[in-house]
Amino acid sequence: MKISARNTLKGTIKAIEVGAVNTEVVLEVAPGVEITAVITKASTERLGLSVGKEAYAVVKASDVMVAIE
Amino acid sequence: MKISARNTLKGTIKAIEVGAVNTEVVLEVAPGVEITAVITKASTERLGLSVGKEAYAVVKASDVMVAIE
Amino acid sequence: MKISARNTLKGTIKAIEVGAVNTEVVLEVAPGVEITAVITKASTERLGLSVGKEAYAVVKASDVMVAIE
Amino acid sequence: MKISARNTLKGTIKAIEVGAVNTEVVLEVAPGVEITAVITKASTERLGLSVGKEAYAVVKASDVMVAIE
Amino acid sequence: MKISARNTLKGTIKAIEVGAVNTEVVLEVAPGVEITAVITKASTERLGLSVGKEAYAVVKASDVMVAIE
Amino acid sequence: MKISARNTLKGTIKAIEVGAVNTEVVLEVAPGVEITAVITKASTERLGLSVGKEAYAVVKASDVMVAIE
């Protein structure tokens, strides 16, 4: 499946924190660069996500903000 | 200002595409790793964004999805 | 690619409206049931979307609201 | 109330999963076509949602992605 | 229609900027407190929005971030 | 840090409800005008949020809808 979301960053799952409905998944997409996702617990199970596995962080461009110092 | 958004990735602006209401901003956050944002043209001007400048891509964790191959 | 987004609705592209940065894509996912997406023009071109083609509307569960009358 | 969100799909609530802060609500919007929402538990209670009730899945067009196989 | 979105702020439309696909709508929800929305041009027309009219800014709680100084 | 998000509303934290992964934070941004945010528990702790503190509700313009009666 090819998706319109402009941002697909390959990484490794570093941590998973499971709640009642949602799960927090931390991916390292480059050395020292981490992205945190909150997805449903059901999706975490369906995709078989676990620490150490390769996965992608996917983000729609309209959900990205830009900041400067 | 410190923000609750979990993801703040430092990068360099590679490209800016301006529309009537929105602007597309491409940041390189690691060698070969790019993130594209669509923000309003007004914000692009207010922040003074231009190609070559340092900036951050900011994403709320609930807007990040996870995919596997 | 398998994605964590809980909602993947198969449909047919009914209309595409192109702007400077964004494109509006209308899919029919069931008889008389349409879903409209606004995605970047670049994604529309990359995926080769055109009226009449089969495609999926993909929505993260945290972006869905519920309403009652 | 009329809302700018382009997508309002009528359906029947098939399942509700309650967490501490969030609730997962599954609606069937056409035979065999389901949409899952994650909303706050407070909203679930305020709207009086329960399995079997009619409800609408509401999604802003900028939160819909498009995918192809 | 009652919607699960937790945030419904009543205001007056102060400005509308129209693009090819999207429109930017500025509402004043309290004296000196403005909220800007980017919605599709089609929704702007369907709702008959114009400067000076009363309207509501509607935001899902999962789309709100918190910041401190 | 200056951010592209168009909406930054100053307020006072009225309530915090903590879940396993997410936290619900209610801010009063004008007399009688409240905004509710759902953010990760980790962000709540990192920012040191507590009832009575000043904070900002931050919302990207593309996440704001408009409604009329």
Nearest CB to D66 within list C7, C33, C55: C55
- The Cβ of residue D45 has, within 10 Å, a number of other Cβ atoms equal to 11
With a CB-CB cutoff of 8 Å, which residues 24-43 of chain D face chain C?
24-25, 27, 29-31, 33-39, 43
Quickly state the pLDDT bin for B30 (edges 50, 70, 90). very high
Mean of per-residue pLDDT scores for chain B: 96
> Which of E6, E23, E40, E58 is the best mutation test for C, with the most CBs of C within 10 A?
E40
Structure confidence at residue D6 (pLDDT): 94
ipTM: 0.93
Q: Is the Cβ of A7 closer than 8 Å to some Cβ of chain B?
A: yes
Residue C69 lies in a domain: no
Quickly state the pLDDT bin for F66 (edges 50, 70, 90). very high
Residue C67 lies in a domain: no
Q: Is the Cβ of D16 closer than 8 Å to some Cβ of chain C?
A: no
Residue D50 lies in a domain: yes
Asked whether D26 and D14 are in contact (CB, 8 A), the reply is: yes
Q: What is the pLDDT of residues D48-58, one digit of tens each?
A: 999 999 999 99
- The Cβ of residue B36 has, within 10 Å, a number of other Cβ atoms equal to 23
**Partner-chain contact C38 E60, CB within 8 Å:** no
Report the percentage of chain A scoring pLDDT > 90: 96
- Average pLDDT, integer, range B34-45: 96
Structure confidence at residue F11 (pLDDT): 97
Mean of per-residue pLDDT scores for chain D: 96
Residue C1 pLDDT > 90: no
Residue B2 lies in a domain: no
Q: How far apart are CA E57 and CA E39, in angstroms?
A: 11
Contacts of E2 in chain C (CB under 8 A): 67-69
Asked whether D67 and A2 are in contact (CB, 8 A), the reply is: yes
Structure confidence at residue F1 (pLDDT): 86
Report the percentage of chain F scoring pLDDT > 70: 100
Residue F2 lies in a domain: no
The three-state secondary structure class of A47 is helix
Residue E7 lies in a domain: yes
Residue of D nearest to E7 (CA): D43
- Stated pTM of the model: 0.94
Domain that holds residue A16: 1-49
Structure confidence at residue E20 (pLDDT): 87
Distances in Å between the alpha carbon of D21 and those of B67, D25, F9, F50?
A: 25, 13, 23, 17
Structure confidence at residue A1 (pLDDT): 86
Beta-carbon contacts of F32 under 8 Å, excluding residues fewer than 6 positions away, are none
Q: How many residues does chain E have?
A: 69
Q: What is the pLDDT of residues E21-68, one digit of tens each?
A: 999 999 999 999 999 999 999 999 999 999 999 999 999 999 999 999
CATH of the domain at F48: 2.40.50.100
**Partner-chain contact A64 B38, CB within 8 Å:** yes
Helix, strand, coil shares of chain F, percent, nearest 5, are: 15, 60, 25
Q: What is the pLDDT of residues F3-51, one digit of tens each?
A: 999 999 999 999 999 998 999 999 999 999 999 999 999 999 999 999 9
> Which of B14, B16, B17, B41 is the best mutation test for C, with the most CBs of C within 10 A?
B17
Residue D31 lies in a domain: yes
Residue B44 pLDDT > 90: yes
Structure confidence at residue F23 (pLDDT): 95
Structure confidence at residue E6 (pLDDT): 95
Nearest CB to F3 within list B42, B58, B61: B58
How many domains does chain D contain in total? 1
Q: Is the Cβ of E19 closer than 8 Å to some Cβ of chain C?
A: yes
Structure confidence at residue C43 (pLDDT): 95
**Partner-chain contact B40 F1, CB within 8 Å:** no
Residue C61 pLDDT > 90: yes
Task: Tell me how close the Cα of D63 comes to any Cα of chain E, in angstroms.
Answer: 11
Contacts of B37 in chain F (CB under 8 A): 4
Task: Tell me how close the Cα of C1 comes to any Cα of chain A, in angstroms.
Answer: 5
Q: What is the pLDDT of residues A23-44, one digit of tens each?
A: 999 999 999 999 999 999 999 9
Asked whether D18 and D46 are in contact (CB, 8 A), the reply is: no
Residue C65 lies in a domain: no
